[in-house]
Structure 1
Amino acid sequence: MVKRQTPGSPERKFSLPLGLIAAIVLATVTAIWLISVMAGRPPANTAQENARALIGGPFTLIAEDNRTVTEKDFAGKYMLIYFGYTFCPDVCPTELQTMSTALDMIPQDKLDKIAPLFVTVDPERDTAPVMKQYVALFHDRLIGLTGTIEQINDMKKTYRVFAEKTEDTGASDYLVDHTSIIYLMDGNGEYLSHFSYGTTPEEMAEKLTRLIP
Structure 2
Amino acid sequence: MRRSLLAGPVLVLLVLLAACGGSAQSADGELTGTRLDPPFDVSSTPLTDTDGNPFSLTEDTDKPLTIVFFGYTHCPDICQTVMANLASAMTRLDATDRERVDVVLVTTDPARDTAPVLKTYLAHFDPDFVGLTGDINTIIGIAKPLGVGVSKAQKLPSGGYDITHGTTITGIDAENEGFVYWDEQTSSAQFAADIHTLLND
| Higher-RCO chain (CA-CA 8 Å, sequence separation at least 6) | 2
Q: CA RMSD in A?
A: 2.2
Structure 1 residue 186, shift from structure 2 partner: 0.7
- Whether the 8 Å contact between 1:87 and 1:175 is mirrored in structure 2 is no
Residue type of the alignment partner of 1:95 = V
Are residues 1:131 and 2:118 paired? yes
Indicate the structure with greater helix content. Answer: 1
Q: 1:68 to 1:206 in 2, by over 3 A?
A: same
- Whether the 8 Å contact between 2:35 and 2:179 is mirrored in structure 1 is no
Structure 1 residue 121, shift from structure 2 partner: 1.0
* Structure 1 equivalent of residue 15 of structure 2: none
SS at match of 1:178: coil
Q: What is the TM-score when the length of structure 1 is the normalising length?
A: 0.72
What does 1:29-178 correspond to in 2, within 5 Å? 48-50=36-38, 52=39, 54-70=40-56, 71-164=58-151, 169-170=156-157, 173-178=160-165
The partner residue of 1:180 within 143, 151, 167 is: 167
Structure 1 residue 140, shift from structure 2 partner: 2.0
Q: Percent identity?
A: 28
Aligned-partner Cα distance in 2 for 1:165–1:171: 17
CA offsets, 1:72-91, max 9 Å, x none? 11124411111101111111
Residue type of the alignment partner of 2:47 = L
* Unpaired runs of at least 5, structure 2: 2-33
Task: Provide runs of 4+ in structure 1 moved above 4 Å.
Answer: 165-168
Q: What is the TM-score when the length of structure 2 is the normalising length?
A: 0.76
- Whether the 8 Å contact between 2:35 and 2:181 is mirrored in structure 1 is no
Q: 1:186 to 1:172 in 2, by over 3 A?
A: farther
- Whether the 8 Å contact between 1:81 and 1:182 is mirrored in structure 2 is yes
SS at match of 1:104: helix
Residue type of the alignment partner of 1:92 = C
- Whether the 8 Å contact between 1:161 and 1:178 is mirrored in structure 2 is yes
Residue type of the alignment partner of 2:42 = G
Aligned-partner Cα distance in 2 for 1:87–1:106: 28
* Unpaired runs of at least 5, structure 1: 2-45
SS at match of 1:88: coil
- Whether the 8 Å contact between 1:84 and 1:120 is mirrored in structure 2 is yes
